[in-house]
Homo-oligomer: A and B are copies of this chain.
Amino acid sequence: MARLSLSDTDKQARDWFHRTTTDLGCKVHTDAMGNQFAVRPGLKNDQPPTYAGSHLDTQPSGGRYDGILGVTAAVEMLKVLNDNWVETAYPVGVVNWTNEEGARFPMSMVASGVWSGDIPLERAHNLKSVIPANDTATMKTELERIGYLGDVACSWKASPMAAHFELHIEQGPILEAESRRVGVVQGVQSYKWFTVTVRGRDSHTGATSFQHRADALLTASKMILASHKIASKHSALASTGILTLKPGSTNTVPGFVQFSLDIRAPQDETVNAVEADCKDAFSALAAGENVLDINTGCAPSSRTCSVDWRTDFVSPATHFHDDCVACVQAAGADLCGSGDVNGKDVGAWGKLMTSGAGHDSVYANKRCPASMIFVPCRDGVSHNPAEYSSPEACADGANVLLGAVLRFDKLRAERGH
């Protein structure tokens, strides 16, 4: 699946969304970032809708579930409400957020970020397409071109939400591995992205003894291993996805290595602790000291490397709203037959989870109560054509989404707002 944001195929999907939700009796509007909001009236329409939704764009070589499942399940929710003549206390909405992937315009969750007030509209409008490489389009010119530059301001004030529920595939292997049907998502992990630069000294692989080397790649390898050991100790994650080196010749010891480091944990403090431990360990490894037994058995060297850190991105932990989490949990229990919704353990059918990846719900949660529902995907594979969730898993997710929205509507009715 390749449906890059604001492409011709994205326009087709948007047209489908507009037509289908209108046909289902919704009033639909589009904001200045192309976010689409479809609202089915309730009994009291002077209050904001309870929303379900996600995104319709994909990675350049993506799957058929990431994002799309959350929108189509929300549209299915509208059908079920209509088919069963359900009257909700408050309006119910479906949202399609623009460019969640950040694949074509390189800032993920950018349109929900503008909506929440975290990203300036002009910065988002001026983002340049990176796919295809020779494209000169910006978000604004593409929104205009496909007719989705809406006349409503992109803002939580102009399009308020009483709550935001998002169904998504897990994009990880845990639910499948533990045979759980539904993930009740309590929040999104804290994460920080760094670029680490190790400088040593180019030298001839044949003519330079270990003692006289400052091998930037050997040192970087030790650092990657150290980051893994440190993260393991803290029950956190540390990952390197990019590594480049110079000069890049079989018979030259590299004098320069740069690598990415992605540290994640449910709590900000844990991420900071892993960062601090890694900084200590990397400095010691660059200086040739033994850390975590990594240098044991290595030939000592009289030369050392230097190490520099650059912080590229900081995303603090998101804690979803208790009310929304409780609605998801109760809806899961309703569907799967376990009544224990009070304890920490939700029962064999489900799992309380922290999302490893970012989602539009992170920005939504800044302006209204939010939570997410995860369903298992095969082998945890995502952002790949092999991405797959079974029809049963998709149905579970859609049912829990419907149940959570109805429960939240009921909660609002009880509270009177």
Contact = CB atoms under 8 A, between A and B. Distances in A.
A356 B207 CA distance: 4
A343 interface: no
Contacts of A120: none
Contacts of A383: 204, 252
Interface residues of A, number: 67
Contact of A171 (B174, B204, B292): B204
Nearest to A252: B241
**Total identical chains:** 2
Interface in A182-205: 189, 191, 193, 202-205
A297 interface: yes
B221 A225 contact: yes
Interface stretch (A49-57, A242-250, A326-334, A394-402): A242-250
A212 B175 CA distance: 12
Interface stretch (A19-27, A83-91, A227-235): A227-235
A133 interface: no
A193 B243 CA distance: 22
A212 B243 contact: no
A250 to B, nearest CB: 4
Contacts of A293: 293, 296-297
B174 A209 contact: yes
A116 interface: no
B241 A243 contact: no
Given A177-B212, A202-B384, A204-B356, A241 B248 contact: yes
A318 to B, nearest CB: 12
Contact of A209 (B172, B193, B248, B254): B172
Contact of A356 (B206, B228, B239, B243): B206
A210 B228 contact: yes
Interface of A: 170-174, 177, 189, 191, 193, 202-210, 212, 215, 217-218, 220-222, 224-225, 228-229, 231-233, 237, 239-243, 245, 247-254, 260, 262, 264, 292-294, 296-299, 312, 355-358, 380-384
